[in-house]
Amino acid sequence: MKRPRFTLVLDPIACDGHGVCAELLPECIRLDPWGFPIIESGEIPVELLDHAERAAVSCPRMALTLVKLTS
Amino acid sequence: MMNPATPTSTARSSAGSGRPAVRPPAGAERLLAGVGPQGAAVGLVEHLDRWGSVPTWRGTTFLDELDASGLRGHGGAWFPVGTKWRSVRKAGLRSPVVVANGAEGEPASGKDRVLVQQLPHLVLDGAVLAAATVGAGRVYVHVPSGAVPAVSRAIEERRRAGLDPCDIEVVVAPDRFLAGQETAAVATIIGRKPATPTFVGLKPIREQGVGGRPTLVQNVESLAHAALIGRFGAEWFRRVGTPQSPGTVLLTVTGRWAEPRIVEAPLGVPLGEILQLGLGDARSFQGVLLGGYGGGWVTPHDALAMPLTEEAAREYGSSLGAGVVALLPTNVCPLSEVSRVVTYLEGEGAGQCGPCVNGLAVLANAVGQLAYRPNALRGGVAAIPTLCGLVEGRGACRHPDGVARFVRTALRVYGDHAALHLQRGPCHTSAPPFLPIPATAPRQGAR
């Protein structure tokens, strides 16, 4: 069986630019000049999945979601 | 081979009515072939005389016909219409909703207004056909306040005639650039204030829109084309246009003749032919804005030579978008035109997404410096595409992407002019501004 693959989806309306996510997952998330996250698109590497999940649940605005890729 | 379900072009209209058979339009004027004298709204009797009624398509046969026609969405995205209707039909257990979208927030576009005000029945035919095809019981017609009387009259005529099996309701679109954006249209219909775009995330509007129902938001021109495909079939539809971009398109042409004109043209024809200009006329204007303020600029030579298709427009980093074709006259400063529009677009943002709020403000400022105070522009012209990169793909809607495309293509087409500004300073011209900007554009409510 193939292991499930995941990606991070940001709700840009909910996001307030707290920046917690970039601190917890700097490998995939950096901040723009105004403090809003720029998220690398595509699949989260498997070794970073725990960190990605922590970044998602730590968002004070609940703007970040870890989503299973369907294909 | 003809699909056995395809009605012949004269099938229904002649049946039992005693009227002569309705012939499909043979030339490049299809939608506009039905326009009445002096632009008066075409009433129901006149409409049925001209086109006959739409035949009944059983089951999903019209979806196959739409796929075969190759019709693509004329609201700006050029997405295959058959694919969209199919996904709405199978999206859920609840009955879907159809939105005929004529909001047309694009200031340089006027073709949707012509359709809903002068040919409301053709648009409504398409919307009702869409409802029957996707299984919707309700149609909303989303139009600016100016079009409400014509649309309301048309709906009343149809109601009295008992023409349609579904409810049709008019919804007034706000006078905003983003009013026609799919999620903003849904917000207006459900009465959400402010009616700004929303983040749809993993459930697109076609799966979960008005009242949580699968929702088909389709531009009114696309619906009008569908209404003719419903009568005359896919084979007829493909008689003009290219295999990838069949049929005709409504264009709003500005800067070519004394007044803006709505022109219907077959897709794939060289733009120069439509404009009645040869390659030798390339010096009579500075560039062409294709698509609208969310579209992009093309050089005069490229514009005159390019075939009128979305594929060709994208090769130049532009888009046919909503069909705007604006020829920039030689007496204006292109950079101040670009700056005026970017400032307008920045003000039209919904004020919801951080990168768009911050990025468009900085971008508008930088473009303004290039136009009026080039010495103040830090980092030179190269700073501007970098700012575009900071907003692209980062909004809940495509607004920042459209602004970035407008600016990036402008720098490509007017790069020499930008270099002149940096060398010698801004232009001093007394020419009146060219690109239209709505007179009152107060900022939309932020969160």
In a domain, B98, yes or no: yes
B20 and B153 in a single domain? The answer is yes
Q: What percent of chain B has pLDDT over 70?
A: 94
How many domains does one find in chain B?
A: 3
H-helix or E-strand containing B36?
Answer: none
In a domain, B216, yes or no: yes
In a domain, B305, yes or no: yes
B393 and B338 in a single domain? The answer is yes
B4, B50, B52, B54, B55 from B15: Cα distances, Å: 18, 15, 10, 12, 11
H-helix or E-strand containing B143?
Answer: strand B138-144
Helix B220-237 to helix B111-118 angle (10° resolution) is: 80
- What whole-number distance in Å separates Cα of residue B334 and Cα of residue B410? 8
One-letter amino acid for residue B227 of the chain: A
- CATH number of residue B23's parent domain: 3.40.50.11540
B389-408: per-residue pLDDT in tens?
999 999 999 999 999 999 99
- Residues of chain B contacting A65 with CB distance shorter than 8 Å: 201
B207 and B171 in a single domain? The answer is yes
In a domain, B438, yes or no: no
- CATH number of residue B365's parent domain: 1.20.1440.230
In a domain, B371, yes or no: yes
Interchain contact B390–A (C-beta under 8 A): yes
Residue B13 predicted with pLDDT over 80: no
- CATH number of residue A13's parent domain: 3.30.70.20
B78 and B212 in a single domain? The answer is yes
Of B199, B202, B447, the CB nearest to A12: B199
B71 and B40 in a single domain? The answer is yes
Residue in B closest to A69 by C-alpha: B202
Confidence class for position B447, pLDDT limits 50, 70, 90: very low
Q: Looking at B268, B301, B328, which one is the last position of a domain? A: B328
Strand (E) positions, B197-346? Answer: 215-219, 248-254, 261-266, 287-290, 296-298, 324-328
The interface predicted TM-score of the complex, written ipTM, equals 0.95
Q: Which of B104-108, B117-121, B426-430 has the lowest mean pLDDT?
A: B426-430
In a domain, B68, yes or no: yes
As a whole number, mean pLDDT of residues B106-121 equals 97
Residue B105 predicted with pLDDT over 60: yes
Quick check: A12 and B201 CB within 8 A? Answer: no
B40 and B16 in a single domain? The answer is yes
In a domain, A1, yes or no: no
Q: What percent of chain B has pLDDT over 90?
A: 88
The predicted pLDDT at position B98 comes to: 98
B344 and B289 in a single domain? The answer is no
- Residues of chain A contacting B358 with CB distance shorter than 8 Å: 32-34, 36
**Chain A positions touching chain B (beta carbons under 8 Å):** 9, 11-17, 32-36, 38, 65, 67
Strands B296-298 and B261-266: unpaired
Name residues of chain A where pLDDT drops below 70: 1, 71
Residue in A closest to B447 by C-alpha: A13
In a domain, A58, yes or no: yes
Interchain contact B319–A (C-beta under 8 A): no
In a domain, A28, yes or no: yes
In a domain, B24, yes or no: yes
B294 and B347 in a single domain? The answer is no
B179 and B87 in a single domain? The answer is yes
Confidence class for position B148, pLDDT limits 50, 70, 90: very high
B125 and B173 in a single domain? The answer is yes
Closest CA–CA distance from residue A48 to any residue of chain B (Å): 22
As a whole number, mean pLDDT of residues B422-428 equals 96
Strands B287-290 and B296-298: antiparallel
Range of the domain at B90: 11-237
Range of the domain at A13: 6-68
In a domain, B76, yes or no: yes
- What whole-number distance in Å separates Cα of residue B394 and Cα of residue A14? 13
- What whole-number distance in Å separates Cα of residue B238 and Cα of residue B246? 5
Closest CA–CA distance from residue B446 to any residue of chain A (Å): 11
- CATH number of residue B282's parent domain: 3.10.20.600
Interchain contact B394–A (C-beta under 8 A): yes
Confidence class for position B15, pLDDT limits 50, 70, 90: very low
B286 and B345 in a single domain? The answer is no
Closest CA–CA distance from residue B200 to any residue of chain A (Å): 8
How many domains does one find in chain A?
A: 1
B231 and B255 in a single domain? The answer is no
In a domain, A36, yes or no: yes
